[in-house]
Structure 1
Amino acid sequence: MSEQKVFKASAESKGKAKQLRFFALLAWIIAIAGEVFAIFKLISNETLVWLIIAIVAILILAITGSMLWKKANRLDPASKKDKVRFFIQNQLGAIISVLAFLPLVILIFINKDVDGKTKGIAGSIAVVALLIAGISGADFSPPSIEQYTKDINEQTNTLKQLNFDNDNVYWTKAGNKYHIFEDCQHIKGRDEINNGTVKQSWDEKGISELCKTCENRAIRERDIKLEDIIPKGDVAEEELIE
């Protein structure tokens, strides 16, 4: 039985994730500050246009923060073993979105100094913004250490079938796939080509996908049955024909 490889984010990945989370939090803080400003200064009939502009700006900041946070989570995922942390870390974007819009929505509708037209326009836009930000912030397929570990081991086994039981791949600094062949057309001639195991490509670069060109070449050159490597239909038969 082959040794099970457990995913562990590299120091570089953790560093990048920390930086992304910092900028995400900064965007969210500015968004909430904008909400506070809008609540105290812009909920009135005379400042409707500025209130709408503020809502749009808050929405952009909330979505930007969520995108950065999700990217960080994919570099440095949480473990499912700690259910509370796992939920908060992966759904923080949705939580912040509610905080950035719900108080504003409520105060727009209950404000007695604002007429019905202003409430209808500003309130509707704020509700739509809340829904957009909330959906954008939620992670419906959150990454986890356990899922990465499972994927790494499955991909390692597949790679060994393709590569004479050898768990060695190549990748580049700017690439998002790992390669079986160092002379693959997609990386040949690059200044810096790294090599290591599938796990190392995940840990160090966050690369989780095998180059299809290399996969198809290995299947052709090594006379491997397609159905033994990948589910039927994953790669079209015609792709394997030169």
Structure 2
Amino acid sequence: MRQWSRGGRAPLLPLRLLKVPTVSAGMLAGLLVNVGLSGVLFALPLYFQQARGYEAHAAGLALLPMTIPLAFNPILTGRIVGRVGARLPMAAGFALCATGVLTLAAATGETGYVGHLIGLLLVGFGTSLAIPSLMAAVMAASPPEWTGSASGALNASRQLGATLGVVLMGAFLGQAGSTEAGIRSGFVALGLVLSAGAILAWSMIGRGAAAIDVQVVGTALYRHTSNEQSSAIVPQKLAPVQIEVKSSAIATH
């Protein structure tokens, strides 16, 4: 596959694309954010049912505070990215996710729901900041002819992260003496993973940046992603503004 990617006329993943720092770091960041998100989505319903005695429908409803920001906040995130660039909201999103997961870890010994509510809201807002910002940064840093490959590679890395998140939490739950202990130690591990994502987003993605018209990102996203996904990242009514991308990426165009 490596030889075909180098010499083929239409490689599935052009290896030169991985030399763009924002793209390669963005793929790793995409993996990390989905490790955290999928780990929470997998383990927390089990905790509510096995440790708290919730019915299945009640355990599902308990996750609702996390899904509300995921549904509405990406629209605001697109405007933030258009004004200040992707780096700050991305790093802030990872930091909020890490704080939320650690809050959930601390709340496992509590009898009430308030701690879980706060943690879920933080994870929801953090994810809705991190993922749209990450997608915008990677798309903007990719040469126009490779945006499809970049989008596919980012989504593939996120799916791999989702698998690893389930595996990680399953390992902690399987080795722990109780559900509470497994959730607590597993969520601490997820918090560390997401903290590493925040450091990666701040230090590697969007540094040494030049400017590019946000409409370039919008065009690429509408070509290679769904309309709903791309409009959440780059609102159609947003006037042409600037976002930050790697100057080294522009040099490869």
Q: Normalising to structure 2: TM-score of the pair? A: 0.29
Which is higher, the Rg of structure 1 or of structure 2? 1
The higher relative CO (CA closer than 8 Å, separation ≥ 6) is in: 2
TM-score normalised by the chain length of structure 1: 0.30
